[in-house]
Amino acid sequence: MELIQQLVNGISLGSIYALIALGYTMVYGIVRLINFAHGDVFMVGAFVGFYAITGLHVGFFPALLMAMAVCAILGVCIERIAYRPLRNATRIAALITAIGVSLFIEYGTIYIRGAQPEAYPSTLLPDKKIEVFGVMISSQSLWILATSIVLMILLQLIVHKTKIGKAMRAVSYDAEAARLMGINVDNTISATFAIGSALAGAAGVIFGIYYVKIEPLMGIIPGLKAFVAAVLGGIGIIPGAMVGGLVLGVIESLVSGLGYSLWRDGVAFIVLILILIFRPSGLFGKNVREKV
């Protein structure tokens, strides 16, 4: 019974990692860039949701949509201001810029609002205990899981059923050929950043409800773990990011359940080391040409 409880907790946590990891994997699949500012977009989403709830007195879903909208705009601004001028620069230049953007967002937030943490209202989602197969499961965990699954399904529909999704897949496979076919590559890349950042913003609100406490440096560890999840699933592969996030969340919860809670952060990086040694292409990766 305890195992089932830990699996539910792990899947709920893993769904948050998966939402963040999707942004990493989409951007990498399109422009071969590891956007290390992505974890800080997640942090901004958490604060936007918090201020929407406490300042505008809206519910969970309006706050979620507001956070997604603000983070989508932020993602586009980051791409156009910081990354687009470096599109043809060396990868190390783009990487250094990503780290710089990350620090700018973190300490810009601290400068604007201070470093003090905030607490999400505990009554935002109903938190009743539901008995499933003899195990008492929090209804809040089920709400979080359901919201995450819906967002992942919507992403899959966007990527595979819409015009912008087809453009994203074309640019991912061969940007020059896509440009010759009349696809606006710059707009497609901006749309990719917008969608990935919107998902990170949603993850920020969900994280705030799940863990209650949020603060300006909260994006560092979840951002790194989401990157591990993306690598675990096969970076650049959308289903891989989803599965990688869920697997990582379950591993963390099982480690905590066994009494090694101090190792729950370290185990993510042990997983990263092992996957890079034994299967560097990830669980879903096949070869270096694998795309979104």
pLDDT digits (tens, 9 = 90+) for 118-150: 999 876 776 677 766 666 777 788 888 889 999
Task: Give dist(CA 89, CA 289) in Å, integer.
Answer: 21
Model pTM score: 0.90
Which residues does 166 contact at the CB level (< 8 Å), separation at least 6? none
**Considering only 26-30, 130-134, 194-198, 270-274, which range has the smallest mean pLDDT?**
130-134
**Contact between residue 168 and residue 194 where contact means Cβ atoms under 8 Å apart:** no
Q: Which one-letter DSSP state was computed for residue 129?
A: E
Confidence class for position 291, pLDDT limits 50, 70, 90: very low
**Contact between residue 247 and residue 17 where contact means Cβ atoms under 8 Å apart:** no
What letter represents residue 98's amino acid? Answer: A
Say how many Å lie between the first and final Cα of the chain, rounded: 38
pLDDT tens across 34-91, in order? 899 999 999 999 999 999 999 998 988 999 999 999 999 999 999 999 999 988 888 8
Q: Please list the alpha-helical segments (H only) found in 174-263.
A: 175-180, 185-211, 220-233, 238-257
For residue 205, report the phi and psi dihedrals to the nearest 5 degrees.
Answer: -65, -45
pLDDT tens across 193-202, in order? 999 999 999 9
Confidence class for position 225, pLDDT limits 50, 70, 90: very high
**Secondary element (H or E) of residue 142:** helix 139-161
User: Between 7 and 39, where is the model more confident?
Assistant: 39
Which residues does 3 contact at the CB level (< 8 Å), separation at least 6? 257
What letter represents residue 52's amino acid? Answer: A
